[in-house]
């Protein structure tokens, strides 16, 4: 054999299978579950979101129960607010309730208020020919007298609040 080299490789399939089975067993015994900080961040964000949702839900319900047991849905403007002289003032009642308004002790005539029976809302906008041409500057206090529609104004309650006109 003149200058020819032959290489012979043998493969022992029994050993290869044993080694690969051993490698698979080691991989299964030690799972690749490393601590990943991003999962902790995701969990923290979920917890923060859940806490925010609960707080918003509690704030939403406390506003309605705080306003005379939920009979009043909204005061317009909110107590302590600063509004302009041409802004609308009034009250938004719960279904089944009606109201009349007084501003600074002066009753606002029904024909000068805007009543929306479908939403139980009573509002007033100052203007020419009305009790107020413009809302008086400074602190103003509103009194809403309200009652259940079924019983009428003879059985009524009242709510007062103040706001500032700038």
- The torsion angles phi and psi of 90, rounded to 5 degrees, stand at 160, -155
Same domain for 113 and 152?
yes
Q: Which residues contact 157 (CB under 8 A, 6 or more apart)?
A: 68, 71, 145, 146, 147
State the residue for tokens 């600063």. 82
Same domain for 125 and 84?
yes
Tens-level pLDDT at each residue, the chain (166 residues) = 555 555 555 555 555 544 555 555 555 555 566 767 887 888 888 898 888 777 766 654 444 446 888 899 999 999 999 999 999 999 999 999 999 999 999 999 999 999 998 889 999 999 999 999 999 999 999 999 999 999 999 999 999 999 999 9
Q: Which residues contact 112 (CB under 8 A, 6 or more apart)?
A: 124, 130, 131
Residue 116's domain is classified under what CATH number?
A: 2.60.40.1220
Same domain for 86 and 61?
no
For residue 61, the enclosing domain spans: 36-66
Region class of 41: left (phi > 0), else alpha (psi between -120 and 50), else beta? alpha
Same domain for 113 and 130?
yes
């Amino acid at each position: 054999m003149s200058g020819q080299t032959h290489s012979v490789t043998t493969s022992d399939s029994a050993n290869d299978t044993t080694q690969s089975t051993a490698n698979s067993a080691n991989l299964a015994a030690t799972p690749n579950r490393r601590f990943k900080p991003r999962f902790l961040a995701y969990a923290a964000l979920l917890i923060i979101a859940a806490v925010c949702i609960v707080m918003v839900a509690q704030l939403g319900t406390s506003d309605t129960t705080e306003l005379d047991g939920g009979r009043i849905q909204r005061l317009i403007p909110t107590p302590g607010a600063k509004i302009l002289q041409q802004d609308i003032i009034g009250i938004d009642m719960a279904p089944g309730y009606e109201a009349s308004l007084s501003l600074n002790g002066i009753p606002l005539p029904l024909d000068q208020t805007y009543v929306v029976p479908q939403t139980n809302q009573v509002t007033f906008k100052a203007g020419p020919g009305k009790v107020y041409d413009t809302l008086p500057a400074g602190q103003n206090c509103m009194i809403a007298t309200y009652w259940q529609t079924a019983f009428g104004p003879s059985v009524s309650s009242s709510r007062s609040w103040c706001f500032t006109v700038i």
